Chain A
Amino acid sequence: EPEVTQTPSHQVTQMGQEVILRCVPISNHLYFYWYRQILGQKVEFLVSFYNNEISEKSEIFDDQFSVERPDGSNFTLKIRSTKLEDSAMYFCASSEALDRVSYEQYFGPGTRLTVT
């Protein structure tokens, strides 16, 4: 069964460093998303991406964040200068695009980011 994969599973970085989290969405999906979950808190939407551009973004997704689809399979989230409060589980998700709207989002296993 097709699934979303994410690498690395755990990333430790020092405050102020740049990190790139990687995702391989399900192959025939066209909508891609990043969510995060701070330990003990709810899953929060960061950004959605369709047709090589950002479709929506939340208030959390400020100038420190960027997303990219560098090739036909990968989808990345970059945090330019990490802060302690960026420590969280980051989930990538993907969905099919039906008339530019899609309801069934499938999540990857997540990358645990620890900022020290």
Chain B
Amino acid sequence: QKEVEQDPGPLSVPEGAIVSLNCTYSNSAFQYFMWYRQYSRKGPELLMYTYSSGNKEDGRFTAQVDKSSKYISLFIRDSQPSDSATYLCAPQTGANNLFFGTGTRLTVIP
């Protein structure tokens, strides 16, 4: 079983839509749940992260973790064309190395 599974998409939404991006994981030792954004041929850019279960909000972005079901979500409100990128979930045990999902490619259509 893969450590982290993520639907690769692609996902296309109209501008202003609410976007839901999701990952599942198998390793119960994961404690920190990071979300990165990656533009084509660029390095991953840290968006936000949560610790353990719960929600965290940062502007239009909300990260959510449900450890009981091993489910990670990122919601984007009022999506903009500039949000078009690949979104990577990357949980971490606390021992420093990140376990990346395959990424979901998002396109926001003006």
Interface residues of A: mostly helix, strand, loop or mixed? Answer: strand
B93 nearest CB across to chain A (Å): 10
**A107 and B43 within 8 A (CB):** yes
Q: List 14 A-B contacts (CB under 8 A).
A: A41-B102, A43-B88, A43-B90, A45-B98, A58-B97, A89-B41, A101-B94, A103-B92, A104-B46, A105-B34, A107-B43, A107-B44, A107-B45, A109-B43
Interface residues of B: mostly helix, strand, loop or mixed? Answer: loop
**A56 and B95 within 8 A (CB):** yes
Chain B count of residues within 8 A CB distance of the other chain: 23
A-B pairs, top 10 by smallest CB distance, nearest first, are A107-B43, A45-B97, A43-B100, A42-B102, A107-B44, A42-B100, A48-B96, A103-B32, A109-B43, A110-B43
Chain A count of residues within 8 A CB distance of the other chain: 28
Residue of B nearest to A108 (CB): B43
Residues of chain B within 8 A (CB-CB) of A102 are 96
Query: CB of A31 within 8 A of chain B?
Result: yes
Q: Would you give the 0/1 interface string for B34-46, flagging 1 where the beta carbon is closer than 8 Å to chain A? A: 1010000111111
